[in-house]
Amino acid sequence: MDGKVNGAVETCFGSFHRYWQYMNFSHPLIKEKFNPNACGWAYGMNFFDLDSWRREKSTEQYHYWQNQNENRTLWKLGTLPPGLITFYSTTKPLDKSWHVLGLGYNPSISMEEIRNAAVVHFNGNMKPWLDIGMNQFRHLWTKYVDYDDEYIRRCNFAPP
């Protein structure tokens, strides 16, 4: 990962997932340290180099920024902003095939993209386990569901 702490797929398309959407750039600390047009990434799927993590003191950095935001003036809520801040200059962008996103909102994702993906992500509102789930992606999830499992039966998931 070229000495970087984090490897992740960037998710900025046009103005989508830019730092300015998550942080308060009127605050001098944020304005001084970060580029508002920097690209965010899918923080739910990361590869971490733990030797680099320790070398860069990532845990300490995370805690520092959380403490700085005690009164919520740097960012409002959520886990994405402190992650974006902590790994601002230590994230290596990965090829998008490592993490194909959008299976809960983007019907134009091709089956070839999905077949070539290391991880598929059902992010969005139309999860495959919901009635509003997109039918063309539902089989990607249901083939792994054990419908005989007691907890699955309690959730009222109907077999396909």
Burial of 159 (0-12, 13-18, 19+ CB in 10 A): exposed
> Cβ distance 160 to 139 under 8 Å?
yes
Return the structure tokens found at 81.
């902003």
Q: Return the closest-CA partner of residue 98 out of 45, 43, 44.
A: 45
pLDDT at 78: 83
pLDDT at 15: 62
Amino acid at 133: G
pTM of the model: 0.78
Please state, in angstroms and rounded to a whole number, the distance separating the CA atoms of residues 118 and 100.
8
pLDDT at 107: 93
DSSP state letters, 117-156: -S-B---SS--TTSTTS-HHHHHHHHTT--TTSHHHHHTT
The two beta strands, 6-8 and 91-93, are parallel
pLDDT at 43: 79
- Which whole-number Å values give the CA distances from 55 to 33, 94, 124, in the listed order? 20, 21, 35
Task: Tell me if residue 77 falls in helix, strand or coil.
Answer: coil
Task: Tell me if residue 100 falls in helix, strand or coil.
Answer: strand
Taking only the tens of pLDDT, the chain with its 160 residues reads: 999 999 999 988 766 789 999 999 999 999 999 999 999 988 788 999 999 999 999 999 999 999 999 999 999 878 889 999 999 999 999 998 999 988 999 999 999 999 999 999 998 899 888 888 899 999 998 888 898 888 888 887 767 6
Task: Tell me if residue 91 falls in helix, strand or coil.
Answer: strand
